[in-house]
Amino acid sequence: MKEGEGKPTLYGTLTCQGIGQDGIPEVTASEGFIVNEINKKSLHISCPKENASSKFLAPFTTFPRIHAKSVTCLDISSGGGLGVSSSTDGSMKIWQASNGELRRVLEGHVFDVNCCRFFPSGLVVLSGGMDAQLKIWSAEDASCVVTFKGHKGGVLDTAIVDRGRNVVSCSRDGTARLWDCGRSACLGVIADCGSSINGVAVGAADNSINLGSPEQIPSEREVGTESKMLLLAREDKKLQCLGLQSRQPANAFNCCTFLSGFVLLAGTQDGNIYQLDVRSPRVPVQVMHRSGAPVLSLLSFRDGFIASQGDGSCFIVQQDLDYVIELTGADCDPVYKVATWEKQIYTCCRDGLVRRYQLCDL
């Protein structure tokens, strides 16, 4: 367990002494570590000296047959019934979230699909690919309804504004663009920063934050962009925050997801997770560092967040828990993306597996 920079890492071992009559393993820990609790799906370990505690949760189900290679992105529909995922095997698929059964194959991108997500309705999917195109798909019949062209490099991430009449994309070409889904048109380049934009997030701004005024009157086709912030995670080690409608900078950041109307989380390539307040972003509220592996995804969850990293770790931090929940199974393969639906958590990994965890297993 690693607590902060500059301190030596403490190592310990767990030994299984056998299986009890109730089918639960009997596990002992080496000196300095304590086994607090164990059942068939979870193991709670603490290290009193470092005041560190983690509960390790095994996957409830694993879906090995959705893709043949690394699963790079996934999302779960708002009703929890469907999943969509993309892979380095070149495919994008829709599947039954309960059992991983294949429902649709979405074919039309040239080269790899980098990102995919459901619209709030759960009936439509938005995707972006290395072919510099954005596409909108029907989840019901797998038809491609709309194709957006305009980026000059691969589309790396997307965000949906409100109910989805507008969407945002970011690309290797260094731009973030706002699109009108109804007319398949680009409403404007929101940012052009000369560096690849790896991630994008849209969130509602707290009333206390001044997002500035647009230089031109916004198009009547812009819906729900007012009072929204846009975060851009940039390859040049900057994070930029803009007013989505005003296109004016709010502040520079290091991150890409919202916890509230003014609290952000920032994940870096060297494994730091910054908690920042938009009103005074230069000094982080908190910095968390569990390993030096890149932070690959951050997701607001209940009263905390879920993070995944390039060393296979995926964990849940909650304000009301004095321990961290570790989602196990990925070993050392990067966990690229996390999606949730109620008490279920889905992860996708370089080993080609989609894993589903159930928090009731705790």
- Rounded-to-integer distance, Cα 50 and Cα 47, Å: 6
Among residues 101, 76, 167, the alpha carbon closest in space to that of 84 is found at: 76
The CATH number given to 60-358 is 2.130.10.10
Cα angle 75, 80, 84; round to 5? 30
In terms of pLDDT, which residue wins out, 208 or 251?
208
Whether pLDDT at 315 is above 90? yes
Higher pLDDT, 104 or 245: 104
| pLDDT mean over 238-258 | 65
Q: Which residues of 239-253 are buried (b: 16+ CB within 10 A; e: fewer)?
A: bbbbbbbbbeebbeb
Average pLDDT over residues 99-105: 97
Every domain range in the chain assigned CATH 2.130.10.10: 60-358
In 3D space, the residue among 120, 153, 114 whose CA is nearest the CA of residue 135 turns out to be 114
pLDDT of 251 reads 39
Q: Helix (H, G, I), strand (E, B), or coil: what is residue 48?
A: helix
Structure confidence at residue 56 (pLDDT)? 95
- Predicted local distance difference test score (pLDDT) of residue 27: 93
Q: In the prediction, which pLDDT does 9 show?
A: 82
pTM for the structure as a whole: 0.84
Residue 222 corresponds to which amino acid?
Answer: E
Report the DSSP pairing between strands 42-47 and 52-57: antiparallel
For residue 209, what pLDDT band results from cuts at 50, 70 and 90? low
How many residues in the chain?
Answer: 362
